[in-house]
Amino acid sequence: MSALSPPPPPPNNPSSILQKRSFALALLRDAASVLEFPISACCSSVYFYRSFVKQRQQRNYDDGKKKKSTSSSSWSFELECAITTCLYLASKVEDSARRVSDVCNVVRRCRLRLQKEVLEELGCVVADAEEEKKNAAAETNENEVIVVGESYYERKDVILELERDVLRALGFELNRTPQPHKYALALVKRRFGDEAKAATEVEAQLAESVDVILEGVLFGDDSDVADEGEKVCDWEVKRVAVAAVALAEEKCGVKVKPNCAWEELLGGIDVMVKMREDVKVLKAACATYESLKI
């Protein structure tokens, strides 16, 4: 029996968990890491994926389509193609070009590893060696470790098609990818550093904490947040960066007096109040990400 079909009843339903947004974002995160993407390419790939998914959902809603259940093989194929497309396009946009075949194979290996980890955590492991042998014999191309031959060319055609869909979702504006890391690190330097000097210990500590916080922003699953609720991924870059740095300072317990106060940087008590509220939202989003982290 396939580990995905038929699935056991909720809440330990492997199919539903693997098809959640958190799994796709975890796959995106791991594949970007293996491909050694710079942070700018990581930001772009996530932004492209979220925009693509949002447009697809809107289109389905406008067309009045009902969501149809997909088989495990078609689901994994669609997921891998979508993630590969966003990574490949981001690598070109951010001058970190990777070959489409390399991206395909990295995404495939990461998907299989993550899927195995999720299923094992849920207790969906093969009972004995005989059953494992039977499963291995029944594997489809979707479970092969390397994408080659006809399977690769089929996938490449789909990726080129999806690339056009992603571009439409972005309105063909590729230079507007949010890059909160740059702004956040500039804020850390402004408050605790000196442009003419190397980074201090406090700067390095805060930069590391900011990276962890912004990972939760980039790869956090907000699909369960109500439409009227706060979605951190929809905040403007400056807002995310300010909240991330403020939260990092809180987490690190910085005792050093900053070069300039937040009031001076942000201008006004009202903005300070909003920043404190944003820090609370960001802290909750990061906690959710850590609890769902694969």
For 243-279, the pLDDT digits (tens) are 999 999 988 888 888 888 888 888 776 778 888 898 9
Q: Does domain 180-292 have CATH number 1.10.1760?
A: no
Do 14-169 and 180-292 have matching folds? yes
pLDDT at position 222: 66
Handedness of CA 186, 190, 191, 194 (dihedral sign): positive
pLDDT at position 87: 95
pLDDT at position 258: 85
For every residue of 150-185, DSSP letters joined together read HHHHHHHHHHHHHHHHHHHHTTT-TT----HHHHHH
Q: Does domain 14-169 have CATH number 3.40.190.10?
A: no
pLDDT at position 32: 92
pTM: 0.74
Cis peptide before 258 (omega within 30 of 0): no
Q: Which positions of the chain have pLDDT values less than 70?
A: 1-19, 60-73, 123-146, 148, 196, 221-230, 269, 292, 294
| Structure token pair of residue 150 | 């006809």
| Structure token pair of residue 202 | 């406090």
Domain regions of the chain by residue span:
14-169, 180-292
pLDDT at position 164: 92
| Sequence-separated (6 or more) residues with CB below 8 Å from residue 230 | 281
pLDDT at position 172: 85
The 3-state secondary structure of 246-265, one letter per residue: HHHHHHHCCCCCCCCCHHHH
* pLDDT tens digits, 118-155: 877 776 544 444 444 444 443 445 556 667 677 788 88
